[in-house]
Chains A and B, each alone.
Chain A
Amino acid sequence: MVGKGELADRFISDGDILVKFEQLHLGSCFADLKKFRGLSVLILTARQYTAAVALLELDGVARRIVLAPTGLEPSYIGQVLVDGSVDVILTDYPLSNGYDNVEVVEFNGEVVLTEDEVVRSESTEWLLFTSGTTGRPKLVIHTLQSLIGPLQNQPPRSKSPVWGTFYDIRRYGGLQILLRAFVGGGSIVLSDPRESIRQFITRAGESGVSHISGTPSHWRGVLMSGGIGAFKPEYVRLSGEIADQAILDGLCVVFPEACISHAFASTEAGVGFEVRDGLEGFPAAWIGSDLGGVELLVVNGSLRIRSLRTGAGYAGAQLVTFAGPDDFVDTGDIVERRHDRYYFVGRREGIINVGGYKVYPEEVEAIVNLHPSVQMSRVQARSSPITGAIVTANVVVKIGADLHEGGFGKVRQEILQTCRERLPSYKVPALLYQVPHLDIAPSGKLLRRPHA
């Protein structure tokens, strides 16, 4: 996977260590890698680093790799073992339980020189967890082919890109970045949950990160921290949530020389496309045309994707496919056409019903976020005995924003004025509050409460 000919200077690092690819190539973390041949292996580690090296080693050897994200509820493990037909659990910390018919192998990621040559002949299945909105995780079946398919369209690169990502590499968004580093001749700087955003950015800068990826919420956190310092990446990528014009413009100001790109992807559908023109949404002309093996359709307002990058289905006693007729996967993302462009308005399941009218939180947030004093916002439904629900908004003000004249009351008026100009009345927040911060989920996405 890594490409033997180009190992010089390439590395993988996290907050604790830096390991060169040369070392990984000459050694192994396992006393006997061959014992994993043909088996289904659950990678359940505390550290991203150990998961990453395990992936490198097991690809082509194991029949199946199930990549567990951090924070997987122990009560779900039993079901995962069944759905994934797991033979071995690979872990870097002592597990509290044992599991019937499943061997547990502990390793610490330390690379030991070895003469063993391993034949990589298995076409390994890669099973990834979806974040999903309900508690029970689903496993999406991919292969290395479907995962690296998107790498046909490589972003602009210097000699050997150093990738950094806020994401955990054990989820689809982060794994994409890890694979870009492995397969695309680069290095990878992993995030560390103990670090603040500012500390990560500082470390990324010191490590020479040239290409960096995160969610729009991660990036708003970066802008809020004020701690860019000397960090000058070539390529700044957003994915995982709708990238609104406000965050794209904000990043252009802070990284004037970088290529700012927002990517549309889901664990099920794979990476769909990347937009690099600095505008939110994507060109309407892309619907129905071939985007390098990816086809897009809009059906009943939601975006559908067909490509070789989509997963095969959900793992379980029986394979549950998620593609509809003609192999198009419904992404669940609602889009709206305005002139020659499509805009993302929200996730279908987040819909708010105001007296029969539909509102998506994200489309309102995009307008609220346009106000120069707003750092980020969250729009949610509030129960109403009159209309079922009404729209309310929580707003985080930028640090250093000058609120002296009129205070937040004036900012509120201005935000609502803009909303009234650009949205129908039922979409305008009925109530708008200032809050000190908004929670982000471990996936990097804005944490949305269930309808109260």
Chain B
Amino acid sequence: MANDDTASAIRITIMQKMREIAAQQGKVLGELNDDLPLVDSGLDSLCIAILVASLDDQLDLDPFSGSNAVIPVTIGDFVRMYELAGV
């Protein structure tokens, strides 16, 4: 179904970016599953900041802007924010 395909494309992009940024910043990434809290992922706040900016450029999505911005706790929360914004 079209929506699922779009969602998973965003998910794939996010995961790929996370790995890329972790490598660039010399961070060791944990197992990336949806329940993993971001604070335990191996990515520090700078990495997340870079990730958010890169995704804004690449996907033209900025789910953090606006009054509805939610604070994501887990990787799953983070991905869902973007999937919702990308619909």
- Which A residues contact B (CB, under 8 angstroms)? 354-355, 382, 384-387, 390, 392, 416, 420, 425-426, 430-431
Which residues of chain A come closer than 8 Å to B68, judged between CB atoms? Answer: none
A386: chain B residues at CB < 8 Å are 45, 48-49, 52
Q: Which residues of B contact A384 (CB under 8 A)?
A: 49, 52-53
Judged by DSSP, the binding face of A is mixed
CB neighbors of A among B32-59 (8 A): 45-46, 48-50, 52-54, 57
Q: With A and B bound together, what is the CA distance between A99 and B57 in angstroms?
A: 52
B52 CB contact (under 8 Å) in A355, A385, A420: A385
The interface residues of chain B lying within 8 Å CB-to-CB of A392 are: 53
Cβ–Cβ contact B45 & A431, under 8 A: no
Min distance, Cβ A380 to any Cβ of chain B, angstroms = 12
A425 touches B52 (CB 8 A): no
Q: Is the Cβ of B54 less than 8 Å from the Cβ of A430? A: yes
Nearest CB to that of B71 among chain A residues? Answer: A385
B residues sitting closer than 8 Å to A (CB atoms) are: 24-25, 45-46, 48-50, 52-54, 57, 64-65, 69
Q: A431–B57 contact, CB under 8 A?
A: yes
Give the CA-CA distance A382 to B25 in the complex, in Å: 19
A386-B49, A420-B24, A426-B46 given; name 10 further pairs at CB < 8 Å: A355-B46, A382-B53, A384-B52, A384-B53, A386-B48, A387-B46, A416-B24, A425-B46, A430-B50, A430-B53
Cα separation A416 to B26 with both chains bound (whole Å):
13
Min CB distance, A303 to chain B, in Å?
29
Distance (Å) between the CB of B71 and the closest chain A CB? 9
CA distance A430 to B45 in the complex (A): 13
Contact B25 A425 (CB under 8 A): yes
Residue of B nearest to A387 (CB): B49
Contact: A430 with B49, CB < 8 Å? yes
CA distance A224 to B50 in the complex (A): 32
**A56, chain B: closest CB distance, angstroms:** 54
Cβ-defined contact, A390 with B53, below 8 A: yes
- Given A355-B46, A386-B45, A431–B54 Cβ distance below 8 Å? yes
CB distance from A367 to the nearest CB of B (A): 16
* A385 in contact with B54 given A354-B46, A355-B45, A355-B46 (CB within 8 Å): no
**How far, in Å, is B87 (CB) from chain A's closest CB?**
20
Closest partner residue, chain B, to A356 (CB atom): B45
Task: Please determine whether B46 and A431 come into contact, CB atoms closer than 8 angstroms.
Answer: no
Report the separation of the CA atoms of residues A387 and B46 in the bound assembly, to the nearest whole angstrom. Answer: 7
Bound together, the chains give a CA A214 to CA B57 distance in angstroms of: 36
- Which B residues are CB-close (under 8 A) to A390? 46, 49-50, 53
Most interface-central of B24, B25, B48 (chain A CB within 10 A):
B24
With both chains docked as a complex, state the minimum distance between the C-beta of B70 and any C-beta of chain A, in angstroms.
11
17 residue pairs bridging A and B, Cβ less than 8 Å apart = A382-B53, A384-B49, A384-B52, A384-B53, A385-B65, A386-B45, A386-B48, A386-B49, A386-B52, A390-B53, A420-B24, A425-B25, A430-B53, A430-B54, A431-B50, A431-B53, A431-B57
